[in-house]
């Protein structure tokens, strides 16, 4: 797109008189009713570039320290995030993946070409057993993305049997032969991925029928309950959602949605680290637009499912930039700056707000691909600013979302405007409140006053994530350019308000009791 399109104007809410830097948040602590589904903090791992191979899995004989083939440094970092759910094996890869190639002795596993991602040879050394064991180590729910595009109904049905059957069934016995006596638990089953595109270029009507057919044969063995997720729309494709809700309805438990913060699908997507203020604001405007997109999909779902039985599953979201110079063009390896941290913070604040309908979300992707938590290079590993946002937000998982009103000045890009202050609040079982708050203004500090209405605050602890510049990022050589530190700018006033001095371009989490 032309640069002129991104001409930015900064205005405060009072452009005519003096600009105000004071914002007000009213938290209705007594009105919270919806639990923030912990699965909103889900992750996604695809056989793409070095996400699995090199990023998570190095094999037992690797010189990189590992536990049964999984690299120790990555495991340790991921455990700290308390990941609730992990989606695998794709993405586009899922609709070309034949699970039987990824079981049994590794030297006998057939190889395949990863046509979607760089045409590299996939040796299938990371397969079903390796994935389910990883989920056990991380303590997360597995979310399997099934092959509808190029697979068969029988193949998907047998995969579910292999994983979950405990009886004397052919697939359970095959699993036993491969060293796993007990079945695993499988809750989340995706029936295809992007079936309108890389998952088969289907129409919504045709896919609806396929969904009905495939899902019929995915059985619930021995008490295992499946939550079946239909392949959903890409961003503004409301017709896909409408057709699926009409044709499939209650046969699905969840319907997915993909929304990337991306400039477009053709041509350059822009550098992950070399960008100006205009591009920064454009990015956050595009990121914030997800709220409008969510509202529109949700209103269609509300029409067909007023009792809210079908969950919206945003199983791919995040930033998408040009791959890092020198890296393989098919590997989607990108750096991750303070700007990405804002996209994570703002998006998660929005997801929390719509938790009544949003049952899960999976940022793309966990390691070395797109908006990753972690980057690796050989034996080196670095945590990204996005990782720290997930760490600061993790106590929202399973807490009650607290409704709020925010008054804030506005940031404007040529097409979109959005509030400089974004926030979310939740209350846990012990009555502790977590507030996550971002000041996206790259230049101006904000004074924020928080009114808790009925809640009495006696203590506040804070953490802040900020950086020298909006394009600061962590490298293997300098891993601490963007890291969280203690935040001391919150004070409880005599009247019970919490007053916070929020520096420009910063993300804050506050724990209150």
Q: Quick check: 241 and 196 in contact, CB under 8 A?
A: no
Residue 83 CB, shortest distance to ligand AHR, in Å, is 17
Task: Specify the stretch interacting with ligand AHR by CB under 6 A; choose among 84-92, 146-154, 291-299, 443-451.
Answer: 84-92
Characterize the bridge pairing of strands 421-427 and 400-401: antiparallel
Site string for ligand AHR, 360-389 (x = CB under 6 A): ----xx----x-------------------
Looking at the Cβ atoms of 25 and 364, the one nearer to ligand AHR is: 364
When the beta carbons of 94 and 457 are compared against ligand AHR, the nearer one is 94
Segment lying near ligand AHR (by CB under 6 A), choices 8-16, 85-93, 147-155, 350-358 = 85-93
* Catalytic pick among 46, 96, 130, 316: 316
Distance CA 349, CA 406 (A): 13
Of 39, 194, 279, 391, which residue is the catalytic one? 194
Residues between 290 and 319 with contacts to ligand AHR, criterion CB under 6 A: 316
Q: How far is residue 317 from each of residues 320, 331, 405, 511, measured CA to CA in Å? A: 9, 17, 26, 27
Query: Among 89-97, 265-273, 389-397, 474-482, which window interacts with ligand AHR (CB under 6 A)?
Result: 89-97
Alpha carbon separation from 231 to 289, 290, 298, 454 (Å, rounded)? 22, 18, 16, 42
Residue 141 binds ligand AHR (CB under 6 A): no
Q: Which long-range contacts (CB under 8 A, 24 or more apart) does 353-357 make?
A: 353/291, 353/401, 353/424, 354/294, 354/295, 354/298, 354/312, 355/34, 355/35, 355/36, 355/37, 355/40, 355/401, 356/34, 356/308, 357/298, 357/301, 357/302, 357/308, 357/311, 357/312
The least distance separating ligand AHR from the CB of residue 246, rounded to whole angstroms, comes to 24
User: 333 or 452, CB closer to ligand AHR?
Assistant: 333
Phi and psi at residue 483, to the nearest 5°: -140, 155
Residue 102 in 3-state DSSP?
helix
Closest to ligand AHR by CB, 10 vs 188, is 188
CB of 43: closest distance to ligand AHR in angstroms? 12
Residues from 315 through 354 that contact ligand AHR (CB under 6 A)? 316
CB of 10 to ligand AHR, least distance (A): 33
Q: Which of 54, 90, 285, 385 binds ligand AHR (CB under 6 A)?
A: 90
Phi, psi of 152 (to 5 degrees): -125, 165
Q: Which two tokens stand for residue 142?
A: 């597995």
**C-alpha span between 192 and 229 (Å, rounded):** 9
Closer to ligand AHR by Cβ: residue 367 or 370 = 370
Which residues are within 8 A (CB) of 477 and not within 5 positions of it... i.e. 6 or more apart? Answer: none
Q: Are 85 and 39 in contact (CB under 8 A)?
A: yes
Return the residues of window 35-54 that contact ligand AHR according to CB under 6 A.
46
Q: How far apart are CA 252 and CA 190, in angstroms?
A: 10
If one asks whether residue 145 binds ligand AHR (CB under 6 A), the answer comes out as no
Residue number closest to ligand AHR, CB atom? 91
Query: What is the rounded CA–CA span in Å between residue 5 and residue 260?
Result: 20
Identify the residue whose tokens are 């009713």: 33
Residue from 51, 77, 92, 421 touching ligand AHR (CB under 6 A): that is 92
The number of residues that bind ligand AHR (CB under 6 A) is 10
Give yes or no: 194 in active site.
Answer: yes
* Alpha-carbon gap, residue 261 to 205, rounded angstroms: 28
Measured from the CB atom, the residue of 161 and 194 that comes closer to ligand AHR is: 194
Rounded distance between C-alpha atoms, residue 9 and residue 6, angstroms: 9
Decide if residue 194 touches ligand AHR (CB under 6 A): yes
Looking at the Cβ atoms of 272 and 400, the one nearer to ligand AHR is 272
The minimum distance between CB 115 and ligand AHR, in angstroms, equals 12
91 binds ligand AHR (CB under 6 A): yes
**Least CB distance to ligand AHR at residue 256 (A):** 10
For 179-198, letters b (16+ CB in 10 Å) and e give ebeebbebbbbbbbbbbbeb
The answer to whether 193 contacts ligand AHR (rule: CB under 6 A) is yes
Helix (H) or strand (E) holding 352: helix 338-353
The minimum distance between CB 40 and ligand AHR, in angstroms, equals 18
Catalytic (active site) residue 46: no
- Point out which span in 77-85, 87-95, 243-251, 446-454 binds ligand AHR (CB under 6 A): 87-95
Contact residues for ligand AHR (CB under 6 A)? 46, 90-92, 193-194, 316, 364-365, 370
* Enzyme catalytic residues: 194, 316
């Amino acid at each position: 797109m032309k640069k002129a399109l991104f001409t930015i104007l900064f205005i405060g809410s009072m452009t005519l008189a003096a600009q105000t830097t004071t914002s007000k948040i009213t938290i209705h602590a007594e009105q919270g009713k919806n639990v923030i589904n912990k699965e909103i903090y889900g992750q996604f791992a695809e056989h793409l570039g070095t996400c699995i191979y090199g990023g998570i899995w190095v094999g037992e004989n690797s010189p990189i320290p590992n536990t049964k083939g999984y690299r120790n440094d990555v495991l340790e970092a991921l455990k700290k995030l308390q990941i609730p759910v992990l989606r695998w094996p794709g993405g586009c890869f899922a609709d070309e993946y034949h699970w039987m190639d990824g079981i049994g002795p590794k030297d006998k596993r057939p190889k395949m070409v990863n046509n979607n991602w760089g045409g590299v040879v996939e040796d299938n050394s990371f397969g079903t057993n390796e994935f389910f064991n990883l989920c056990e180590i991380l303590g997360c729910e597995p979310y399997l993305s099934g092959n509808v595009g190029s697979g068969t109904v029988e193949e998907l049905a047998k995969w579910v049997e292999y994983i979950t059957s405990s009886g004397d069934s052919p697939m359970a016995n095959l699993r036993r032969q491969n060293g796993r006596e007990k079945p695993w638990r499988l809750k989340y089953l995706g029936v295809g991925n992007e079936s309108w595109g890389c998952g088969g270029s289907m129409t919504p009507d045709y896919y609806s029928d396929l969904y009905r057919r495939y899902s019929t044969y995915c059985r619930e063995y021995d008490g295992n309950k499946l939550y079946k997720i239909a392949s959903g729309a890409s961003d503004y494709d409301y017709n896909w959602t409408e057709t699926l809700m009409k044709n499939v309805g209650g046969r699905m438990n969840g319907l997915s949605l993909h929304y990337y913060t991306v400039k477009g699908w053709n041509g350059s997507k822009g550098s992950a680290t070399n960008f100006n203020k205009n591009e920064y604001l454009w990015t956050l405007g595009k990121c914030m637009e997800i709220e409008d997109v969510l509202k529109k999909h949700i209103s269609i779902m509300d029409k067909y499912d007023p009792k809210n039985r079908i969950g919206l599953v945003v199983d791919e979201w995040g930033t998408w930039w040009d791959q890092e110079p020198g890296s393989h063009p098919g590997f989607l390896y990108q750096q991750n700056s303070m700007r990405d941290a804002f996209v994570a913070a703002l998006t998660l604040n929005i997801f929390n707000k719509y938790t009544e309908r949003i049952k899960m979300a999976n940022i793309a992707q966990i390691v070395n691909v797109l908006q990753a938590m972690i980057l690796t290079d050989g034996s080196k590993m670095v945590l990204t600013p996005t990782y720290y946002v997930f760490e600061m937000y993790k106590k929202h998982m399973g807490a009650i979302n607290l409704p709020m009103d925010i008054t804030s000045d506005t940031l404007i890009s040529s097409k979109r405007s959005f509030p400089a202050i974004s926030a979310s609040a939740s209350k846990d079982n012990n009555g502790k409140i977590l507030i996550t708050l971002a000041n996206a203004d790259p230049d101006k500090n904000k004074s924020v006053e928080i009114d808790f209405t009925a809640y009495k605050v006696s203590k506040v602890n804070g953490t802040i994530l900020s950086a020298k510049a909006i394009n600061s990022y962590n490298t293997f050589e300098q891993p601490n350019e963007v890291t969280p530190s203690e935040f001391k700018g919150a004070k409880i006033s005599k009247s019970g308000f919490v007053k916070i001095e929020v520096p420009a371009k910063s993300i804050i989490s506050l724990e209150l009791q």
